[in-house]
Amino acid sequence: MKAAVVDRPGGIPALREVPDPRPGDGEVRVTVAAVAVENVDRAIVAGTHYTAAEFQAALPAIPCFDGIGHLADGSTVGFGGLRPPHGALAEHVVVPAAYTVPIPEEIAAPTAAALSSAITAMTMRTAGGLTAGETVLVQGATGVAGRLAVQVARLLGAGRVVATGRDPVALEEVGADAVVNTDVDDERLIQAFRAHAGEGYDVVVDYLWGRPTALLARALVPDSFTLAKPTRLVQVGESAGPDIRLSADALRTSGLEIYGAGRNAASGMAAAYQQVVEWVRAGALTIPVVTMPLSAIAEAWTRTDLRGRRLVIVPG
Protein backbone atom coordinates (compact mmCIF):
# COMPACT_ATOMS: atom_id res chain seq x y z
CA MET A 1 0.00 0.00 0.00
CA LYS A 2 0.99 3.64 -0.27
CA ALA A 3 1.75 5.82 2.73
CA ALA A 4 3.37 9.16 3.57
CA VAL A 5 6.76 8.49 5.17
CA VAL A 6 9.13 10.81 7.03
CA ASP A 7 12.75 9.62 7.10
CA ARG A 8 14.45 12.34 9.18
CA PRO A 9 13.59 14.85 11.91
CA GLY A 10 11.67 17.75 10.41
CA GLY A 11 11.46 16.05 7.03
CA ILE A 12 8.66 16.47 4.52
CA PRO A 13 6.54 13.31 4.15
CA ALA A 14 7.04 11.49 0.85
CA LEU A 15 4.72 8.97 -0.79
CA ARG A 16 6.19 5.46 -0.58
CA GLU A 17 5.16 1.84 -0.94
CA VAL A 18 5.05 0.10 2.46
CA PRO A 19 3.79 -3.31 3.64
CA ASP A 20 0.03 -3.59 3.98
CA PRO A 21 -0.80 -4.08 7.69
CA ARG A 22 -2.61 -7.19 8.88
CA PRO A 23 -4.76 -7.20 12.02
CA GLY A 24 -3.96 -9.37 15.02
CA ASP A 25 -6.11 -10.38 17.97
CA GLY A 26 -8.37 -7.56 19.07
CA GLU A 27 -7.45 -5.40 16.07
CA VAL A 28 -9.34 -4.22 13.01
CA ARG A 29 -8.20 -3.12 9.55
CA VAL A 30 -9.45 0.32 8.51
CA THR A 31 -9.48 1.80 5.02
CA VAL A 32 -8.49 5.40 5.60
CA ALA A 33 -10.95 8.03 4.33
CA ALA A 34 -9.68 11.30 5.85
CA VAL A 35 -6.84 12.50 8.08
CA ALA A 36 -6.54 16.04 9.44
CA VAL A 37 -3.03 17.47 9.57
CA GLU A 38 -2.79 19.60 12.70
CA ASN A 39 -0.10 21.70 14.35
CA VAL A 40 0.65 18.89 16.79
CA ASP A 41 1.42 16.54 13.88
CA ARG A 42 3.89 18.99 12.40
CA ALA A 43 5.50 19.55 15.80
CA ILE A 44 5.94 15.81 16.34
CA VAL A 45 7.60 15.45 12.94
CA ALA A 46 9.81 18.45 13.70
CA GLY A 47 10.72 16.95 17.07
CA THR A 48 9.55 20.01 19.01
CA HIS A 49 6.47 18.52 20.71
CA TYR A 50 6.85 17.01 24.17
CA THR A 51 5.54 13.66 22.86
CA ALA A 52 7.85 13.57 19.82
CA ALA A 53 10.54 11.23 21.20
CA GLU A 54 8.72 8.02 20.29
CA PHE A 55 8.11 9.16 16.70
CA GLN A 56 11.67 10.41 16.27
CA ALA A 57 13.09 7.13 17.60
CA ALA A 58 11.00 5.15 15.09
CA LEU A 59 12.07 7.01 11.92
CA PRO A 60 11.35 6.34 9.11
CA ALA A 61 7.74 6.63 10.22
CA ILE A 62 4.25 7.58 9.04
CA PRO A 63 2.85 10.81 10.62
CA CYS A 64 -0.52 11.50 12.26
CA PHE A 65 -2.09 9.31 14.90
CA ASP A 66 -5.83 9.38 14.19
CA GLY A 67 -8.33 9.76 11.39
CA ILE A 68 -11.57 8.60 9.82
CA GLY A 69 -12.02 5.39 7.86
CA HIS A 70 -14.22 2.49 6.87
CA LEU A 71 -14.37 -0.98 8.39
CA ALA A 72 -14.84 -4.14 6.34
CA ASP A 73 -18.63 -3.93 6.80
CA GLY A 74 -18.66 -0.42 5.29
CA SER A 75 -19.34 1.44 8.54
CA THR A 76 -17.51 4.72 9.13
CA VAL A 77 -15.43 5.12 12.28
CA GLY A 78 -12.98 7.44 13.87
CA PHE A 79 -9.79 5.60 14.75
CA GLY A 80 -6.76 6.11 16.97
CA GLY A 81 -4.32 4.04 18.96
CA LEU A 82 -1.57 4.10 16.34
CA ARG A 83 2.02 3.85 17.54
CA PRO A 84 5.11 4.84 15.53
CA PRO A 85 6.34 3.89 13.01
CA HIS A 86 2.70 3.34 12.02
CA GLY A 87 0.55 6.40 11.36
CA ALA A 88 -2.71 7.51 9.80
CA LEU A 89 -1.36 8.95 6.50
CA ALA A 90 -1.69 5.65 4.69
CA GLU A 91 -4.20 3.78 2.56
CA HIS A 92 -4.92 1.32 5.38
CA VAL A 93 -4.23 1.12 9.11
CA VAL A 94 -4.58 -1.54 11.78
CA VAL A 95 -5.77 -0.35 15.18
CA PRO A 96 -7.16 -1.89 18.36
CA ALA A 97 -10.91 -2.35 17.96
CA ALA A 98 -11.39 -0.45 21.23
CA TYR A 99 -9.86 2.63 19.58
CA THR A 100 -12.66 3.03 17.04
CA VAL A 101 -15.84 5.08 17.46
CA PRO A 102 -18.86 5.29 15.11
CA ILE A 103 -19.21 8.44 13.00
CA PRO A 104 -22.74 9.62 12.11
CA GLU A 105 -23.58 9.19 8.42
CA GLU A 106 -24.60 12.85 8.17
CA ILE A 107 -21.05 14.06 8.81
CA ALA A 108 -18.70 13.83 5.83
CA ALA A 109 -15.37 12.12 6.51
CA PRO A 110 -13.21 15.27 5.97
CA THR A 111 -15.35 17.23 8.43
CA ALA A 112 -15.29 14.37 10.93
CA ALA A 113 -11.48 14.27 10.69
CA ALA A 114 -11.33 17.90 11.78
CA LEU A 115 -13.72 17.60 14.74
CA SER A 116 -10.81 17.66 17.18
CA SER A 117 -10.15 21.28 16.22
CA ALA A 118 -13.58 22.19 17.57
CA ILE A 119 -13.30 19.93 20.59
CA THR A 120 -10.26 21.88 21.85
CA ALA A 121 -12.53 24.91 22.03
CA MET A 122 -14.82 23.04 24.40
CA THR A 123 -12.09 23.34 27.02
CA MET A 124 -13.52 26.79 27.74
CA ARG A 125 -16.26 24.83 29.52
CA THR A 126 -14.56 21.59 30.61
CA ALA A 127 -11.40 23.24 31.93
CA GLY A 128 -12.45 26.88 32.25
CA GLY A 129 -15.94 26.44 33.62
CA LEU A 130 -17.58 28.89 31.21
CA THR A 131 -21.18 29.73 32.03
CA ALA A 132 -23.72 31.59 29.93
CA GLY A 133 -23.30 35.36 29.83
CA GLU A 134 -19.58 35.39 30.61
CA THR A 135 -16.91 37.13 28.53
CA VAL A 136 -14.48 34.97 26.52
CA LEU A 137 -11.12 36.06 25.13
CA VAL A 138 -9.82 33.85 22.32
CA GLN A 139 -6.04 34.21 22.03
CA GLY A 140 -5.16 33.28 18.45
CA ALA A 141 -8.56 33.50 16.82
CA THR A 142 -7.46 33.55 13.17
CA GLY A 143 -6.28 29.93 13.07
CA VAL A 144 -8.60 26.98 12.53
CA ALA A 145 -9.13 26.15 16.19
CA GLY A 146 -9.34 29.81 17.19
CA ARG A 147 -12.05 30.59 14.66
CA LEU A 148 -13.99 27.57 15.86
CA ALA A 149 -13.52 28.74 19.45
CA VAL A 150 -15.35 31.96 18.61
CA GLN A 151 -18.24 29.91 17.22
CA VAL A 152 -18.23 27.56 20.20
CA ALA A 153 -18.22 30.46 22.67
CA ARG A 154 -21.36 31.79 21.00
CA LEU A 155 -23.03 28.37 21.08
CA LEU A 156 -22.18 27.96 24.76
CA GLY A 157 -23.90 31.27 25.50
CA ALA A 158 -20.98 33.61 26.03
CA GLY A 159 -22.21 37.14 26.55
CA ARG A 160 -19.23 38.73 24.81
CA VAL A 161 -16.34 37.38 22.70
CA VAL A 162 -13.03 39.18 22.15
CA ALA A 163 -10.57 37.79 19.58
CA THR A 164 -6.84 38.34 19.12
CA GLY A 165 -4.51 37.75 16.18
CA ARG A 166 -1.82 39.31 13.97
CA ASP A 167 -3.85 39.55 10.75
CA PRO A 168 -6.31 42.49 10.95
CA VAL A 169 -8.23 41.35 7.86
CA ALA A 170 -8.68 37.82 9.21
CA LEU A 171 -9.64 39.18 12.62
CA GLU A 172 -12.55 41.06 11.12
CA GLU A 173 -13.82 37.78 9.63
CA VAL A 174 -14.02 35.73 12.83
CA GLY A 175 -17.27 37.24 14.12
CA ALA A 176 -16.11 38.50 17.53
CA ASP A 177 -17.59 41.46 19.38
CA ALA A 178 -14.16 43.11 19.60
CA VAL A 179 -10.71 42.33 18.24
CA VAL A 180 -7.16 42.93 19.44
CA ASN A 181 -4.29 43.10 16.95
CA THR A 182 -1.25 41.51 18.63
CA ASP A 183 1.13 42.82 15.96
CA VAL A 184 1.82 46.06 17.84
CA ASP A 185 4.40 47.12 20.42
CA ASP A 186 4.13 45.88 24.00
CA GLU A 187 2.58 48.96 25.56
CA ARG A 188 -0.08 49.29 22.85
CA LEU A 189 -1.00 45.63 23.21
CA ILE A 190 -1.35 45.94 27.00
CA GLN A 191 -3.58 48.96 26.53
CA ALA A 192 -5.69 47.14 23.93
CA PHE A 193 -6.24 44.19 26.29
CA ARG A 194 -7.41 46.61 28.97
CA ALA A 195 -9.55 48.69 26.62
CA HIS A 196 -11.55 45.69 25.39
CA ALA A 197 -11.88 43.87 28.72
CA GLY A 198 -15.18 45.54 29.64
CA GLU A 199 -16.00 44.24 33.13
CA GLY A 200 -13.20 41.68 32.79
CA TYR A 201 -12.33 38.53 30.86
CA ASP A 202 -13.97 35.54 32.55
CA VAL A 203 -12.39 32.80 30.41
CA VAL A 204 -9.38 32.96 28.10
CA VAL A 205 -8.87 30.20 25.52
CA ASP A 206 -5.17 30.47 24.78
CA TYR A 207 -3.77 29.05 21.56
CA LEU A 208 -0.76 31.44 21.59
CA TRP A 209 1.15 31.55 24.91
CA GLY A 210 4.50 33.35 24.43
CA ARG A 211 4.59 37.15 24.19
CA PRO A 212 0.84 37.84 23.81
CA THR A 213 -0.05 35.88 26.93
CA ALA A 214 2.79 37.38 28.95
CA LEU A 215 1.47 40.84 28.05
CA LEU A 216 -2.11 39.80 28.81
CA ALA A 217 -0.97 38.78 32.30
CA ARG A 218 0.57 42.22 32.75
CA ALA A 219 -2.62 43.88 31.48
CA LEU A 220 -4.68 42.08 34.14
CA VAL A 221 -2.67 43.50 37.04
CA PRO A 222 -4.72 46.32 38.66
CA ASP A 223 -3.32 49.78 39.21
CA SER A 224 -4.45 49.91 42.84
CA PHE A 225 -5.01 47.65 45.86
CA THR A 226 -8.32 46.43 44.50
CA LEU A 227 -9.15 42.77 44.09
CA ALA A 228 -9.43 42.00 40.38
CA LYS A 229 -12.17 39.86 38.90
CA PRO A 230 -10.99 36.25 38.41
CA THR A 231 -9.83 35.32 34.92
CA ARG A 232 -9.65 31.59 34.11
CA LEU A 233 -7.03 31.05 31.41
CA VAL A 234 -7.09 27.68 29.62
CA GLN A 235 -3.72 26.91 28.02
CA VAL A 236 -4.27 25.02 24.75
CA GLY A 237 -1.47 25.86 22.29
CA GLU A 238 1.84 27.65 21.96
CA SER A 239 2.00 29.04 18.45
CA ALA A 240 3.57 32.28 19.73
CA GLY A 241 6.18 30.53 21.87
CA PRO A 242 6.61 27.82 24.52
CA ASP A 243 7.57 30.13 27.42
CA ILE A 244 6.36 33.27 29.16
CA ARG A 245 7.76 35.57 31.82
CA LEU A 246 5.19 35.70 34.60
CA SER A 247 5.70 38.21 37.42
CA ALA A 248 4.52 37.44 40.95
CA ASP A 249 1.97 40.24 41.01
CA ALA A 250 0.31 38.83 37.88
CA LEU A 251 -0.90 35.97 40.07
CA ARG A 252 -1.02 37.70 43.44
CA THR A 253 -3.37 40.55 42.53
CA SER A 254 -4.75 40.03 39.04
CA GLY A 255 -7.19 37.21 39.71
CA LEU A 256 -5.46 35.16 37.00
CA GLU A 257 -6.01 31.41 37.26
CA ILE A 258 -4.16 29.18 34.76
CA TYR A 259 -5.41 25.73 33.78
CA GLY A 260 -4.20 23.19 31.26
CA ALA A 261 -6.59 22.12 28.52
CA GLY A 262 -6.59 18.60 29.94
CA ARG A 263 -8.26 19.70 33.18
CA ASN A 264 -11.44 17.63 33.73
CA ALA A 265 -10.92 15.93 30.35
CA ALA A 266 -11.57 12.46 31.76
CA SER A 267 -14.98 13.46 33.08
CA GLY A 268 -16.02 16.08 30.52
CA MET A 269 -14.61 15.33 27.09
CA ALA A 270 -17.05 12.58 26.10
CA ALA A 271 -19.99 14.96 26.56
CA ALA A 272 -18.03 17.74 24.84
CA TYR A 273 -17.44 15.51 21.83
CA GLN A 274 -21.13 14.60 21.59
CA GLN A 275 -22.10 18.26 21.81
CA VAL A 276 -19.75 19.18 18.95
CA VAL A 277 -21.12 16.32 16.86
CA GLU A 278 -24.69 17.49 17.43
CA TRP A 279 -23.81 21.08 16.49
CA VAL A 280 -22.14 19.92 13.28
CA ARG A 281 -25.04 17.63 12.38
CA ALA A 282 -27.49 20.48 12.93
CA GLY A 283 -25.42 22.93 10.88
CA ALA A 284 -24.89 25.20 13.88
CA LEU A 285 -21.11 24.71 13.78
CA THR A 286 -19.17 24.73 10.52
CA ILE A 287 -15.60 23.47 10.21
CA PRO A 288 -13.80 24.80 7.12
CA VAL A 289 -11.50 22.23 5.54
CA VAL A 290 -9.28 21.94 2.47
CA THR A 291 -8.84 18.44 1.09
CA MET A 292 -5.85 17.14 -0.84
CA PRO A 293 -5.06 13.60 -1.99
CA LEU A 294 -2.50 11.39 -0.30
CA SER A 295 -0.53 11.36 -3.55
CA ALA A 296 0.11 15.10 -3.11
CA ILE A 297 1.27 14.86 0.51
CA ALA A 298 4.56 16.69 -0.03
CA GLU A 299 2.80 19.68 -1.57
CA ALA A 300 0.02 19.56 1.04
CA TRP A 301 2.44 19.43 3.98
CA THR A 302 4.20 22.62 2.90
CA ARG A 303 1.12 24.74 2.16
CA THR A 304 1.02 28.13 3.87
CA ASP A 305 -2.15 29.55 2.30
CA LEU A 306 -4.83 27.75 4.31
CA ARG A 307 -6.03 30.89 6.18
CA GLY A 308 -8.18 29.35 8.89
CA ARG A 309 -9.02 26.14 7.07
CA ARG A 310 -7.95 22.69 8.26
CA LEU A 311 -5.89 20.59 5.84
CA VAL A 312 -7.39 17.13 5.44
CA ILE A 313 -5.73 14.35 3.44
CA VAL A 314 -8.07 12.02 1.54
CA PRO A 315 -7.45 8.97 -0.69
CA GLY A 316 -6.13 9.47 -4.17
20 has a pLDDT exceeding 90? yes
Q: Give the domain ranges of the chain.
A: 2-114+287-314, 118-260
| 3-class SS shares of the chain: helix, strand, coil, % to 5 | 35, 25, 40
Q: Are 66 and 136 in contact (CB under 8 A)?
A: no
pLDDT band at 225 (very low <50, low <70, confident <90, very high): confident
- Domain 118-260, CATH among 2.60.120.1440, 3.50.50.60, 3.40.50.720, 1.10.1370.30: 3.40.50.720
* Average confidence (pLDDT) over 281-296: 96
Stronger pLDDT, 233 or 266, i.e. the higher one: 233
Q: What is the DSSP string of 9-23?
A: TTPPPEEEE-PPP--
291 has a pLDDT exceeding 80? yes
Nearest Cα neighbor of 115 from 38, 32, 29 is: 38
Q: What is the DSSP string of 115-164?
A: HHHHHGGGHHHHTT---TT-EEEEETTTSHHHHHHHHHHHHTT-SEEEEE
pLDDT band at 223 (very low <50, low <70, confident <90, very high): confident
Q: Are 95 and 35 in contact (CB under 8 A)?
A: no
Q: What is the DSSP string of 267-294?
A: HHHHHHHHHHHHHHHHTSS---EEEEEG
* Average confidence (pLDDT) over 152-170: 97
**Given this model, what pLDDT does residue 214 score?**
97
Q: Are 212 and 187 in contact (CB under 8 A)?
A: no
Beta bridge partners of 30: 93
For the 2-114+287-314 domain, the top CATH level (class) is alpha beta
* Average confidence (pLDDT) over 118-137: 96
250 has a pLDDT exceeding 90? no
Nearest Cα neighbor of 196 from 213, 171, 179 is: 179
Are 2-114+287-314 and 118-260 the same fold in CATH?
no
251 has a pLDDT exceeding 90? no
The Cβ of residue 111 has, within 10 Å, a number of other Cβ atoms equal to 22
2 vs 251: CA distance, rounded Å: 52
**Given this model, what pLDDT does residue 289 score?**
96
pLDDT band at 56 (very low <50, low <70, confident <90, very high): very high
Three-class SS of residue 69?
strand
**Given this model, what pLDDT does residue 66 score?**
96
